Amino acid sequence: MSTKLVPTPGQTVGPFYGYALPFEKDNELLPPGFPGSIRLQGTVYDGAGHTIPDAILEIWQPDADGKVVQRTGSLVRDGYTFTGWGRGAVGNSGVFTFTTVNPGPTKPGAAPFISVALFARGLTNRLFTRIYLPEDTEALANDPLLSSLEPERRETLIARRDPDGGLTWDIRLQGEGETVFLDFQ
């Protein structure tokens, strides 16, 4: 007799405990003020448009030249080593911030992006999405993911460039302007 094993259902993400989370400079992929560094910021909203005060975001990205860091030590925060990975807790106001660099394209003509994982209460699993830079409209138009989306959905993945050179990108979990989330099989 053969028995088919069924995976157990997911449970909500969290609670989060302070032990080893956060770690020092977790949201600083580079120190603020480091040459070429920018601020990536935004707000996390629930389906009713209220801010979520206790989410955690993780980002992964290539460096400014489009090189994906492939060495150990992603927790290194020595002020010189860019590891391409960071984690940041959302503050009581629902706002997150990272100090990083503008990612470069990983191949010629590709649209540069930052990968994001979101953990929050009420979610049974983490959510995955992307943040695209707004400038290269031709690369954005040719990106396989973006070109598969309706224009209003596509806009949920493209950050706004701030006057100081930083990026602002908000996450909406549901409702009007809901962020596009990715499903990896």
Q: What is the pLDDT of residues 80-107, one digit of tens each?
A: 888 899 999 998 999 999 999 999 999 9
The pLDDT score that the predictor gives to residue 118 is 96
Residue 171's nearest CA partner among 56, 1, 86 is 56
Q: Position 84: which residue type?
A: G
Would you give the DSSP letter of residue 67?
P
Integer Cα distance of 88 and 98 in angstroms = 7
The residues with which 96 forms a beta bridge, in sequence order, are: 42
Non-local (6+) Cβ contacts of 57 within 8 A are: 44, 87, 88, 90, 96, 98, 116, 117, 118, 119
pLDDT beneath 70, residues of the chain = 1-2, 8-21, 185
Q: Are the CB atoms for 112 and 102 separated by under 8 Å? A: yes
The pLDDT score that the predictor gives to residue 113 is 98
Report whether the peptide linkage leading into residue 144 is cis, meaning its omega lies within 30 degrees of zero. Answer: no
Q: What is the pTM of this model?
A: 0.88
